[in-house]
């Protein structure tokens, strides 16, 4: 009679621990968030969510997150393809670099991007900095200013101090989700299918569109959804590059912090419940995509 060895002791014990752990860390906090919102009447709940400043924050958060996710969907796919299919010196280094946004504190990312793209940053004010350097060099040798202050302003980053900076930093934090979702599928993909398509006369674009992309589509879509979900909850990196003007450049997480600073925790949780709803919706969508992908793979087998 075969003896079954278990790595961890007892199904009931491990199941009980799992349920307790998930309840303590996930279900209980989420339930507390929802219950806190019940302190508001329905009219107060609606008034909180329809406040023009809050509405503008939701619009900015979702539009910037969607733009970042779409851009990551295109360029993340290209990056994954190059890392898997194109051998080049330093590929392992660049492959490891993809995970850098996971490890880097978001506040550090925010400071880094703000130092680059804001008006006084290296790229944001490149033209003005160049003029200041040349005039300073001329003054060092006793010459008057060589150029007016705005002579090279066309070299400045044109989107400094706009919400484009928010999209840029969200692209940074969301890129790994797309690349790491697509990479395993491309690595397991058999190139013989491509060769068969080429031998039948199909071109590169047609082969990618009709043969390759349908195979990687579920993983790609899952990566884009994860990048979007990550972006709508991003806080630490965005507040450093956004000017945080109410109604113009404030994101939803900052609105929650603002409500807490104003001693309005129930209003803060009402805004949080909406984010929670969309996060759960995205999570269900991802699970639906994975379920559809498995059914599709089993049907094709």
Give the pLDDT confidence of 10-19 residue by residue, as tens digits: 778 888 888 9
Separation between Cα atoms, residue 242 and residue 237, nearest integer Å: 9
Would you say residue 271 has pLDDT above 70?
Answer: yes
Q: What pLDDT, on a 0 to 100 scale, did the predictor assign at position 162?
A: 81
Q: What pLDDT, on a 0 to 100 scale, did the predictor assign at position 291?
A: 82
Please write the tens of the pLDDT for every residue from 152-187. 888 888 887 788 889 999 999 999 999 999 999 888
Q: Pinpoint the residues of the chain covered by CATH 1.10.3720.10.
A: 34-107+160-299
At residue 60's C-alpha, the angle toward residues 252 and 156, to 5°, is 120
Average pLDDT over residues 51-80: 94
Considering the chain, what is the average pLDDT of its residues? 87
Please write the tens of the pLDDT for every residue from 71-104. 999 999 999 999 998 888 888 899 999 988 888 8
Q: What pLDDT, on a 0 to 100 scale, did the predictor assign at position 58?
A: 93
Among 181, 132, 178, which Cα is nearest to 152's? Answer: 132
3-state SS track over the chain: CCCCCCCCCCHHHHHHHHHHHHHHHHHHHHHHHHHHHCCCCHHHHHHHHCCHHHHHHHHHHHHHHHHHHHHHHHHHHHHHHHHHHCCCCCHHHHHHHCCHHHHCCHHHHHHHHHHHHCCCCCCCCHHHHHHHHHHHHHHHCCCCCCCCCCCCHHHCCCCCCCCHHHHHHHHHHHHHHHHHHHHHHHHHCCCHHHHHHHHCCCCHHHHHHHHHHHHHHHHHHHHHHHHHHHHHCCCCCHHHHCCCCCCCCCCHHHHHHHHHHCCCHHHHHHHHHHHHHHHHHHHHHHHHHHHHHHHHHHHHC
Let me know if domain 34-107+160-299 sits in CATH 1.10.760.10: no
Would you say residue 131 has pLDDT above 70?
Answer: yes
Q: What pLDDT, on a 0 to 100 scale, did the predictor assign at position 3?
A: 58
**pLDDT tier at 190 (50, 70, 90 boundaries)?**
confident
Q: What pLDDT, on a 0 to 100 scale, did the predictor assign at position 4?
A: 62
């Amino acid at each position: 009679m075969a003896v079954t060895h278990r790595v961890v002791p007892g199904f009931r014990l491990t199941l009980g621990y799992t349920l307790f752990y998930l309840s303590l860390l996930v279900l209980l906090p989420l339930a507390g968030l929802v219950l806190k919102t019940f302190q508001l009447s329905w009219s107060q709940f609606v008034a909180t969510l329809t406040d023009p400043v809050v509405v503008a924050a939701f619009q900015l958060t979702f539009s910037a997150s969607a733009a970042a996710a779409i851009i990551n969907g295109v360029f993340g796919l290209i990056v994954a393809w190059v890392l898997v299919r194109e051998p080049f010196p330093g590929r392992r280094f660049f492959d490891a670099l993809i995970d850098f946004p996971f490890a880097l504190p978001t506040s550090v990312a925010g400071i880094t991007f703000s130092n680059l793209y804001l008006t006084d940053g290296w790229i944001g004010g490149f033209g003005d900095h160049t003029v200041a350097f040349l005039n300073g060099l001329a003054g060092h040798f006793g010459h008057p200013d060589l150029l007016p202050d705005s002579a090279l302003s066309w070299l400045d980053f044109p989107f400094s101090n706009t919400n484009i900076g928010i999209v840029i930093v969200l692209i940074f934090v969301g890129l790994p989700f797309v690349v790491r979702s697509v990479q395993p599928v491309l690595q397991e993909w058999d190139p013989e299918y491509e060769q068969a398509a080429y031998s039948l006369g199909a071109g590169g674009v047609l082969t990618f569109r009709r043969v390759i992309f349908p195979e990687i589509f579920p993983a790609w879509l899952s990566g884009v959804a994860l990048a979007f979900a990550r972006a709508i909850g991003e806080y630490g990196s965005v507040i450093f590059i956004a000017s945080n003007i109410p109604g113009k450049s404030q994101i939803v997480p900052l609105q929650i912090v603002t409500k807490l600073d104003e001693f309005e925790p129930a209003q803060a949780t009402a805004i949080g419940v909406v984010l929670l709803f969309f996060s759960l919706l995205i999570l269900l969508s991802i699970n639906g995509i994975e379920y559809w992908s498995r059914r599709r793979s089993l049907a094709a087998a």
